[in-house]
Structure 1
Amino acid sequence: MSTPCNVVVLISGSGSNLQALIDDLAAGDTPARIRAVISNRADAYGLVRAANAGIPTQVLDHKAFASREAFDAALQEAIDAYTPDLVVLAGFMRILTPAFVRHYHGRMFNIHPSLLPKYKGLDTHRRALDAGDAEHGCSVHFVTEELDGGALVVQASTAVLPGDTPESLAQRVHGLEHRIYPLAVRWFAEGRLRLEGDGAMLDGESLLPTGRLIRS
């Protein structure tokens, strides 16, 4: 087994991607270890998921801080108490300040429900349907100061079916998210994945421009 890789997961809601990570780590054949789950919302169900798995939790209410910078400074202090090798955003609904992002350069992931660089931001499933796309999916990327703009690690796609709604498409994409997020965390924890310049490297090979693509 490789040297343990300490992971801190940030959430705001139900934590389905957190659960996928917990389930994957329970297999016991990865050096990744979730040291803590931190939420900006006390009612996030992901906190229950973490507690059920015996993972320490913490709530840091963003509304209790006078500014975004003050919240991010407190959040950074809370995260760093766990000496993380990797920070994982799993439905963390906050726009992060540049200083916070720079502090975790090369060691922070996000997952986004589109085949980036398409459809950065919100309402991605409806936008894919409105555009008449033949396929849709999700992307894991390193976090940079550009919203949903960091180096791509892995993407998964699914065909857009006749009669699809934003809800039906979202359901299939969520299933893909639960496959590729644990995969990316494993790669990083095993020392196979790193950020180099503007692109991700896996096993010494560049993943530019779209990351590893998995088609379902």
Structure 2
Amino acid sequence: MSTSDYRGIADGLSRVREQMAAACARAGRAVEDVQLIAACKTFGADAVSEAVGSGQRVFGENYVQEAKAKWPGLKDRFPDTELHLIGPLQSNKAREAVALFDVIHSLDRRSLAKALSRQCESQERHPAMLVQVNTGVERQKSGVLPDEADDFIALCRDLYQLNVTGLMCIPPAGMPPEPHFDLLAKIAERNGLGALSMGMSSDYAAAIEHGATSVRVGSAIFGSRSYPATGQ
């Protein structure tokens, strides 16, 4: 990355923080009550280092393999950073996920809960877990259906003894996100969960106004992504 790219990251973080502060003010909330997760999928260690230099400490990755390649060295350099898994998680990656991440946002099925529980016990490590809710009931999207969320949360807590602290959602593209944020907040409230991971680059201000405790912002900070031809 060039020096100008680095300046772009610092500027992006500054703009996002200003907009978060404005959204908090509109909602009558304290800025420190909303965590900014810098979603750094496809961006390398240099980009993360620049964000750290601009005061950012919380980062989100979508893929276990990418995080495994990128983050051990970054954690050595920046031990006060916090790493979140914000993308889908395969059950066969549970061991690596528990070892790598401080928070896992994509707990969405019983087989994954079982695999994560086994790894938490064997590694004696208990990252915070967020249940992903498919608020739009979209067939192609991960997440527990809203009318099944209460039972799944209880299962994860009681049977699998997971450290469930909140919920996450990704509203349907092209639809107003606010009803989905409100639905997630209602599910969280009746289950006594305080963490709400909702809002991305296009809608994080609205998410804050509807109760988000963390927002996942990537392109507004790092710029447009270039995806490898082979994918992941």
Q: Does the alignment reach a TM-score above 0.5?
A: no
Q: Considering fraction of residues, name the structure with more helix.
A: 2
Higher strand share: 1
TM-score by length of 2: 0.30
Q: Which has the higher contact order (CA 8 A, sep 6+)?
A: 2
Question: What is the TM-score of this pair, normalised by structure 1?
Answer: 0.32
